[in-house]
Structure 1
């Protein structure tokens, strides 16, 4: 349908409220109207994510309600037992998160599906835990994770506690496609509570989550006075991360005051993604002031975590996601091994665009490394399978974009347990007289210098989206024989799947010296991502390899207009 026709339909609809219509009438830029209405906000395996505002290509109460009705119909299609199990919904600190949560709950209640709600903001991993704890058929967390302030999202989980895969996403999308706004059922919020169709959870679930998280601790012979700066970046991590660190006995956790409390504007950070060092500005200044050993930051929904560690007074080393993952694998697996607690058929899982150092460490300790497509919906799909076939015992999952989970009480990346393990790890090595930078180089000297460069080319809007498509088409259709004077030994296109790994819009090129790189469009943001990896016994040579590959690949990408 033409975007202008959709725009007019909203203005003339008896369902759309007057404030929303006024917002639309005040838009004078034709391109803005086009961007809001040229398509429906896409529902995929990550659910919904988009800019908050009026329009079919925006996050608003009408899109949320229609999506929830389609989801409710899907649950009903799965039978009486699915309906009776109900659904649990959590939300973060963002604009409209609470409102979208209540609208969704009202829709599910109107469809006879019991809905559990938290009494306030919660981290995404607690939603994953809640699905398993309550034995619901599904769960939703209203969040846009680390996106800028103007975004929000609607992330969907299934009964195992992990994000939905294509099969369920396709069912929901099919049901949504059959609906108009007039088809949406809603029950009054207070009426739904009175009828027991909406239930506000008490603190038993929180306590159970904390207990299971604290049970993942490995060592207690550590320096519990380690000096740590923590920032939740004005998100959901403040209470849960500080709680578990306090319960673990850490006595010197210093929180960045300006970023302690919820703030949907993220005024002190702008782009609240700790994957980028800019997000550490306030935390690093505070760390320098108090000479902290370690700086930890979680993103707004507290499923990702990143860190800095002191090299010398006033100087901090910035770890990337691959390095943090390798350090955690090294610490956790060696800790379990020392206690003879590595399970039989122990396994870790990483994404196909995550570096190989964690895999090398795991295999040196007889722990198998499995690979999946990008995203924790895929990483956690394997332990879901292993629950039934007992092929492997899941220990740890991670990807380069600062997502980690240790243990199987949560089936998604978990910034709470990961923060606890990072602080424990740093405290363990500090007692041995080592910083985490020392330990990283200990790993490099043992396993080789695994170096990487990860970057994103941001291309917004309709034209940006089309240019990303042209970039991927150009690489697919060009039979490249070499990059940076290194022969291509294998090029893998995951478009139709590869071996036992499913289909995705990803290209990976393996080069003759063991280096490799990948290109893929982001599934949640307007960008194309480039991942480059090289390994050598000499650090300088490894870094040079990365730079040469980067230069060559970027020239080819930017040549596409």
Structure 2
């Protein structure tokens, strides 16, 4: 990235201060930055860019912040792309918009809808917060050309985001995103952003509201993915105790409704985290990947002797589960562990019913554990890998739906995203909550916990253990440092790590195994372990993934610790 000159940054800053279309409150915020050169640079050194999840950034004034103006400009670019016919999807474009519980999410969602209306595009807007997977489902059922979700997933409270979807309900793939980015880049001023008032948009039928009917269709579709509803309703659902936390987000009502419909009646909601809260005031981060997010849920689980704890992130596309180990302690399952358990449960139940197709496929990402793959292969189900990002899983689903070459059975990624069924093209924490609770109840009827089943899988396939480390490097300097780290590892690949030979280097930047080029490096070691370096597409981070396979937990723990230590020492030197 070219180093921005101070003159360029200041010119953009002053342009916002002098633009008559910028409101007084935004200008007041910008004037308060006078003399803060580093902060001004961070806000104006670039335009907020589409990454693996669309726009995502800290809220505030500036071109590198999420605000009504960057949302409006992005939406105008999307509208130009749609109106040009790139994705007209039949009788003229329409768009569905949803939002989560974050601060300003409702306002940004309405802003986007009014810009689309200003371009003559019919928009379906949910009347209140809704889960991201429901948006994906609605795009498909309403035969829309595109979809938008205002969310920053599990990021801290100061963030928000804008995820754009295609006509198949899948997040925009790179080729589509690049076309939208090009359309956005051609907008030179905010006077090019067309907008109707809410009253005019409604009067012209260009703004239509979605409510309970759309909700019920989605709930019923998720419930139809159940594999053991009869068993749950026959009595286990009354005895089996579930604690659920929506972490102040959109998962509260849909998860409760789905569990209730399947037959789970002994469900306890964490009261402090039940209601929407854009500040996520009870947690450091509303992320079900982290044990800290489950502190209150575990406390409640201990009081009610819960069999399982389930948590969903703010936009309810990620699900985390907590189960009891053999000592009766609550342990947070990793995304890889939950995914492997669900693969095993889904495939075993289909096989038991004689419903396992000959051409079944499980799709996972290149940084996801091989345990789930080994399980799938043991059932005669093929496994395919994609780049990181559920849109790539969704893209393959759509292709197979069109060709009939494969029957999609399950898709997942290590970052707590799962999907079964073909009703959506994005990860769905609601169906994942249903499946993990149902699997736990099913095995409970056999006298086993999910932890017992996990140990059985380890005994059969080997003790897989994974880890993730990341370094947050903010601002323009951070972008430069992340680039330097990747350049170092790409140009000077290690020959060995801790005396273990590096057998193969997979540089996905050049494309590999038929996948698109992406700035990812994966190193395969002679002992079967691997690690992978990848800049985040949605946060100012570089992520390093690790995986080992041992004969026991102790050997795997030691191997993982040694691998992490050696790799991260060099990563930190590479900065």
> TM-score normalized by structure 2?
0.96
How far does residue 465 in structure 1 lie from its aligned partner after superposition?
A: 2.1
Is 1:291–1:314's contact at 8 Å kept on the other side of the alignment? no
Post-superposition CA distance 1:395-454 (Å, at most 9, x none): 110000000011111110000000011110111111111111111001001111111111
Report the 3-state secondary structure (helix = DSSP H, G, I; strand = E; otherwise coil) of the residue aligned with 1:207. Answer: helix
Question: 1:87·1:115 contact (CA, 8 Å) conserved in 2?
Answer: yes
Aligned to 2:74: 67
Question: In 2, Cα distance between the equivalents of 1:25 and 1:324?
Answer: 49
- Residue 27 (structure 1) shift: 1.9
Contact 1:514 1:534 in 2 (8 A): yes
1:75-115 residue CA offsets vs partner (Å, 9 max, x unmatched):
01116655724110000111111111111111111111100
- In the alignment, what sits opposite 2:3? none
Bigger Cα displacement from structure 2, 311-320 vs 529-538:
311-320
- Counterparts of 1:326 and 1:206, CA distance in 2: 30
Q: Greater shift after overlay, 231-240 or 315-324? A: 315-324
* TM-aligned CA distance change 1:312 to 1:542, over 3 Å: closer
Q: Is the 8 A contact 1:45 1:169 kept in 2?
A: no
2:4: which partner in 1? none
Stretch deviating more after TM superposition (536-545 or 293-302): 536-545
Contact 1:83 1:112 in 2 (8 A): no
SS in 2 for 1:531: strand
Cα deviation for residue 36 of structure 1 reads 0.7
Q: Which residue of 2 aligns with 1:501?
A: 515
SS at match of 2:566: helix
**Rounded Cα–Cα distance in structure 2 between residues aligned with 1:538 and 1:251:** 38
CA contact (8 A) 1:149 1:270 kept: no
Equivalent residue for 1:176, pick from 167, 184, 190: 184
1:278-330 Cα deviation digits (max 9, x unpaired): 11111111111222111110000000000111226762122111001000001
Query: Within 2, Cα distance between the matches of 1:142 and 1:454?
Result: 27
The answer (yes or no) to whether the contact 2:83–2:93 under 8 Å persists in 1 is no
Please report how far the alpha carbon of residue 557 of structure 1 lies from its aligned counterpart in structure 2 after TM superposition: 0.7
Aligned counterpart for 2:32 among listed residues 26, 29, 52: 26
1:449 to 456, 463, 467: 463
Q: Report what 1:529 is aligned to.
A: 543
**1:101: which partner in 2?**
109
Q: Deviations over 1:432-483 (max 9, x none)?
A: 1111111100100111111111121222222222211111111011131111
SS in 2 for 1:161: coil
| d(CA) in 2 for partners of 1:313, 1:487 | 38
Deviation at 1:347, TM superposition (A): 0.4
> Which residue of 2 is the match for residue 478 of structure 1?
492
Shift of 1:558: 1.1
Give the root-mean-square deviation of aligned CA atoms: 1.3
CA drift at 1:342: 1.3
Which residue in the other structure is 1:141 paired with?
Answer: 149
2:242 to 228, 232, 240: 228
Structure-2 residue corresponding to 1:88: 96
2:559 & 2:435 partners in 1: Cα distance?
Answer: 32
Contact 2:52–2:389 (CA under 8 A) maintained in structure 1: no
Residue 574 of structure 2: SS of its match in structure 1?
coil
Deviation of residue 541 (structure 1)?
Answer: 1.8
Mapping of residues 156-555 of structure 1, within 5 Å:
156-179=164-187, 180-219=189-228, 220-222=230-232, 223-224=236-237, 225-311=239-325, 315-555=329-569
User: Alignment partner for residue 118 of structure 1, among 97, 122, 126?
Assistant: 126
Higher alpha-carbon deviation: 435-444 or 78-87 = 78-87
3-state SS of the aligned residue for 1:229?
A: strand
For the 8 Å contact 2:89–2:143, the answer to whether it is kept is: no
2 CA distance for matches of 1:116 and 1:342? 37
Contact 2:82 2:93 in 1 (8 A): no
**Which residue is equivalent to 2:43?**
36
Structure 1's 457 and 44: CA in aligned 2 closer, same or farther, altered over 3 A? Answer: closer
**Alpha-carbon contact 1:83-1:114 (below 8 Å) kept:** no
Secondary structure at 1:468's aligned position in 2? helix
Q: Structure 2 stretches of 5 or more lacking a match?
A: 1-6
Q: Which moved more, 1:305-314 or 1:199-208?
A: 305-314
Matched, 1:5 2:15: no
Between the two proteins, the alignment pairs up a number of residues equal to 561
Q: Distance between the aligned counterparts of 1:213 and 1:182, measured in 2?
A: 43
| Alpha-carbon shift at residue 197 of structure 1 (Å) | 0.6
Q: Aligned in 2, Cα 1:521/1:250: closer, same or farther, shift over 3 Å?
A: same
Q: SS in structure 2 opposite 1:2?
A: helix
Q: Provide the C-alpha distance between the structure 1 equivalents of 2:327 and 2:388, rounded to a whole number of angstroms.
A: 38
After superposition, the C-alpha distances for 1:167-196 in whole angstroms (9 at most, x for unaligned) are 111111111111121111101111111110
Q: State the alpha-carbon separation in 2 of the partners of residues 491 and 173 from structure 1.
A: 32
